[in-house]
Amino acid sequence: ILNVEQSPQSLHVQEGDSTNFTCSFPSSNFYALHWYRWETAKSPEALFVMTLNGDEKKKGRISATLNTKEGYSYLYIKGSQPEDSATYLCAPEGGSEKLVFGKGTKLTVNP
Amino acid sequence: NAGVTQTPKFQVLKTGQSMTLQCAQDMNHEYMSWYRQDPGMGLRLIHYSVGAGITDQGEVPNGYNVSRSTTEDFPLRLLSAAPSQTSVYFCASSYTSGTAWPQHFGDGTRLSIL
C-alpha cells in the first residue's frame, strides 16, 4: 500500500495570496499522479493528472508540478480567491490502476 | 446526463443488518470503485473493478463485498453492518485504457450504523 503524505493538513490565506502545498509518495511502481479538488458538501472533481518526471500542468490560476524521482508533487494557486476554498487531494496511481488518496490539504481563503 | 448515481443518499442501519449500496453509471466506463470517507482519513479505497467480471481489493476491503456483472453497475454489500462502518461512501468511475484517470464521483451515501 502506498504511503501518501500531504502537507500542510490545513491552510488559511487571505484573498490575493499565492500558496502551495505538497504531495509526497513512494517513487517506486509509479504510473501517474492525480490531483482532485473537493468542495464542502460536493463530490471530488478532477484537476490534473501527470505521468512524466518534470510534468507541469496549469488550469487558470492553479498549476502543478511532478518529480517522480524524489516522489513529490506541488500544487500552486496564484492570487487565491474565496472560491478556491476546498480540500485538495492527491492520489498516486500504481501499475494496477489502484488509487491511494492522501488525506488532503484543506484550503480556506478569507475575503 | 446522469453520470454516476448512488442510492440511497442516506441510510441508518442497526448492527448486524445487511445492506447493498447501489452505484450506476451511464458513461460506458470500464473502471468503477468504492471509497469511504472518514474524518481525518481522506478517501480510502474499498474495492475496485477494471471491467465487468473483474474486481479487486483496495486498502480497506474487510466487511464489504462487491460484484460487477454489468458495465453499468457496481453494488457494494455490507453483509453484517458494524458501527465501524459508519461513514460516507463514494462511488467513482472512469473510462480506462490502463489508467484510473479521471475519476467521476457520485454524490455519496451517508451511512450510520447504530
Asked if A43 lies within 8 A of B106 by C-beta distance, the reply is: yes
For residue A36, the chain B residues in CB contact (below 8 A) are 103
pLDDT digits (tens, 9 = 90+) for A75-110: 999 999 999 999 999 999 887 778 889 999 999 999
> pLDDT category, A1, cuts 50, 70, 90?
very low
Question: Is A73 in contact with A90 (CB distance < 8 Å)?
Answer: yes
User: Phi first, then psi: what are they for B83, rounded to 5°?
Assistant: -55, -30
Across the interface, which of B90, B101, B108 has its CB nearest the CB of A32?
Answer: B101
pLDDT, residue B1, reads 63
User: Measured between alpha carbons, how far is B55 from B46 in angstroms, rounded to an integer?
Assistant: 11
Across the interface, which of B31, B40, B44 has its CB nearest the CB of A97?
Answer: B31
**What are the CB-based long-range contacts (under 8 Å, 24+) for B68-74?**
B68/B32, B71/B28, B71/B29, B71/B30, B72/B24, B72/B25, B72/B26, B73/B22, B73/B23, B73/B24, B74/B23, B74/B24, B74/B25, B74/B32, B74/B33, B74/B34, B74/B49
Tell me the shortest Cα–Cα distance from B9 to chain A, in angstroms.
13
How many interchain CB pairs under 8 A, A with B?
A: 63
Q: Is A59 on the interface with B (CB under 8 A)?
A: no
Asked if A46 lies within 8 A of B58 by C-beta distance, the reply is: no
Neighbours of B49 (CB within 10 A): 21
Asked if B101 lies within 8 A of A46 by C-beta distance, the reply is: yes
User: Measured between alpha carbons, how far is B20 from B75 in angstroms, rounded to an integer?
Assistant: 6
Q: Is A54 on the interface with B (CB under 8 A)?
A: no
Provide, for chain A, the percentages of residues in helix, strand and coil under a 3-state DSSP scheme, each rounded to the nearest 5: 5, 50, 45
pLDDT digits (tens, 9 = 90+) for A22-80: 999 988 888 899 999 999 889 999 999 999 999 999 999 999 999 999 999 999 999 99
Question: Is B9 in contact with B64 (CB distance < 8 Å)?
Answer: no
Inform me whether the pLDDT recorded for B93 exceeds 70: yes
CA atoms within 13 A on the CB side of A40: 8
